[in-house]
Structure 1
Amino acid sequence: MYFGPASRLGISRFDETPPIEWIPGRSNAEIEEIITAVYRQVLGNAYVMESERAVVPESQFRSGEYSVREFVRAVAKSDVYMSRFSDCPRYRFVELNFRHLLGRAPNSYDEMKAHSAILDAGDFDAEIDSYLDSDEYQNVFGDNIVPYIRGYKTEAISHMVGFTHTFQLVRGAATSSFKADLAGKSPKLNSLVINATATAVTAPGNTFRNPPIDPRTRLGAGADEQGKVYRIEVTGYRANKLNNISKFRRSNQVYMVPYEQLSETYQRIHKQGGSIVSMTAV
């Protein structure tokens, strides 16, 4: 299936930027670039204030006491990482750890359960170590390569479902793990991973949040063997102006619509300011 150019998928920066690697003889400026890249990846592309930097691990990395992997470990176990992500629900925290430390979405529910079990034991450090000490991390990044987003590449995933899940976690280089994401701190992949359900891959700015209902359930009049029903994903809803000052964005929506109501629903969606992302027969 053709998905279009990287720029339309929001991965052009990731696709066009080669892996950043420490090698002996790097200049001070290049070392600073590595440090910046580690913060960007491990903290989910969030802005880091000077007071939040891991000063001691930075110094140890500059002096050669720490490899890139050990510096990544220090940042992932830091207070700033804890303050940003540890108060997320369990599975949201796990899926973000996959994004930050392995550069991909979880491949299966078994992966999610294994990491959840570590957290159930109350061992945050062991959860971070389980990614950094894994064979996958060693084979892909080793000791000297900064982790990077790679879930859209075939060697990082085992099936198409994992490919689509990556785009639930990463929606363009300008977004962070929370910024421009309707889910916020709520889990995004929990039911999707459990049921091995693929999701729509949409352009950046149209991040689609999976609805709470089962998308394969037939609903409404005409939803039987006598007629087709269509699943319509809609994004970009905006409410009317509030006190004539501003607008606010509403959550994306899913509609299950019998064939005979498609035209009416289509007109209503556009009249309300929505944008149809996909329309699929169920």
Structure 2
Amino acid sequence: MPFGPASRLGVSLFDETPPQEWVAGRSNDEIETLILAVYRQVLGNAYVMESERLTVPESQFKRGELSVREFVRAVGKSDLYQSRFADCPRYRFVELNFRHFLGRAPNSYDEMKAHSAILDAGDFDSEIDSYVDSDEYQNVFGENIVPYIRGYKTEAITHMVGFTHTFQLVRGASTSSLKADVAGKSPKLNSLVINATATAVVEPGSTFRNPTGSARTLLGPNASEGGKVYRIEVTGYRAKAFNKISKFRQSNQVYMVSYDKLSQEYQRIHQQGGKIVSITAV
């Protein structure tokens, strides 16, 4: 696979597909496309059989009685959603809810704890409402846009750790929430979020898990005190932002970055117009 394209991260389809939005005057076929897009996003790209579809909320949506946001809420609160995800361990369920309703990984352990507390109270519906009624959801998707995967973009994730965690939850546009890798229903981000630990970002098709009981210490000449070094591959630099070369040429770069400089480097790369195509442990 050539160096540079977004396909290296499995996000090319997300970039190439514009947000799905309801507007007045949509045809029946266009409304059906919106319904399928909601199922695909909220159910983590899982296949939905005709017999599983929510006929009443669908009818209400087609008649204009439900907005896209309210249809998303109906799918999230349905037995269909519960049957697929509610029996996951607590923090796995929370991290999947972030993927499904906000299109990103949790930004912090505090976020995960807050949602866990809602579930501790035994209130499944309130857990779904906490995403759909959040300021973030309203500001990004509003009433009429179908949620989409956005955790690899700087407007959704403000630090390198969260960026790498997105690729633990989403291994390309063709994978589903529970079939993306061998983890299945086991929590993926619990200890990683607690310790704010960045993870390697590998191209789709490379499936891995953190080995049980092993240290996450990586040694190298540029290692920080923690001994962790990551290799960042970047493409998309333009002449105006990087150096005096033809405006039609793109420059690819590789950086060796210590763990404690990851967030700083992440921000610098995106400020200069670069696109990160892989992050791997040295």
Find the aligned partners of 1:86 and 1:113 in 2 and give their Cα distance.
17
Tell me which residue corresponds to 2:6: 6
Tell me which residue corresponds to 2:90: 90
Q: Percent identity?
A: 81
Tell me which residue corresponds to 1:156: 156
Deviations 1:163-189 (A, max 9, x none): 000000001111100124110000000
The Cα shift of 1:28 comes to 0.6
Unaligned runs of 5+ in 1: 220-228, 233-276
When residues 218 and 196 of structure 1 are mapped into structure 2, their CA distance, relative to the original with a 3 A threshold, is closer
Tell me which residue corresponds to 2:245: none
Tell me which residue corresponds to 1:55: 55
The Cα shift of 1:279 comes to 5.2
Tell me which residue corresponds to 1:202: 202
When residues 19 and 85 of structure 1 are mapped into structure 2, their CA distance, relative to the original with a 3 A threshold, is same
Q: In the alignment, residue 149 of structure 2 is paired with which amino acid?
A: I
Find the aligned partners of 2:137 and 2:218 in 1 and give their Cα distance.
42
Q: In the alignment, residue 182 of structure 2 is paired with which amino acid?
A: L
Tell me: higher relative CO, structure 1 or 2? Use CA pairs within 8 A at least 6 residues apart: 2
| Contact 1:188 1:210 survives alignment (8 Å) | no
Find the aligned partners of 1:13 and 1:218 in 2 and give their Cα distance.
33
| Contact 2:201 2:280 survives alignment (8 Å) | no
Find the aligned partners of 2:193 and 2:209 in 1 and give their Cα distance.
14
Q: In the alignment, residue 22 of structure 2 is paired with which amino acid?
A: W
Deviations 1:227-265 (A, max 9, x none): xx9999xxxxxxxxxxxxxxxxxxxxxxxxxxxxxxxxx
Q: Which stretch has the larger CA shift, 3-12 or 160-169?
A: 3-12
Tell me which residue corresponds to 2:46: 46
When residues 279 and 122 of structure 1 are mapped into structure 2, their CA distance, relative to the original with a 3 A threshold, is closer
> Between Structure 1 and Structure 2, how many residues are aligned?
225
When residues 214 and 194 of structure 1 are mapped into structure 2, their CA distance, relative to the original with a 3 A threshold, is farther
When residues 230 and 32 of structure 1 are mapped into structure 2, their CA distance, relative to the original with a 3 A threshold, is closer
Find the aligned partners of 1:69 and 1:62 in 2 and give their Cα distance.
13
Deviations 1:49-75 (A, max 9, x none): 111111100000000000000000000
TM-score between both structures, scaled by the size of structure 2: 0.76
SS in 2 for 1:72: helix
Find the aligned partners of 1:113 and 1:78 in 2 and give their Cα distance.
24
Tell me which residue corresponds to 1:170: 170
Find the aligned partners of 1:109 and 1:34 in 2 and give their Cα distance.
33
SS in 2 for 1:154: coil
Find the aligned partners of 1:34 and 1:140 in 2 and give their Cα distance.
17
Q: Please, what is the CA RMSD of the aligned residues? A: 2.1
Find the aligned partners of 2:195 and 2:19 in 1 and give their Cα distance.
33
Unaligned runs of 5+ in 2: 220-226, 231-278
Find the aligned partners of 1:218 and 1:136 in 2 and give their Cα distance.
35
Q: In the alignment, residue 68 of structure 1 is paired with which amino acid?
A: V
Q: In the alignment, residue 174 of structure 2 is paired with which amino acid?
A: A
The Cα shift of 1:210 comes to 2.1
The Cα shift of 1:76 comes to 0.5
Q: How does 1:207-222 map to 2 (within 5 A)?
A: 207-213=207-213, 215-217=215-217
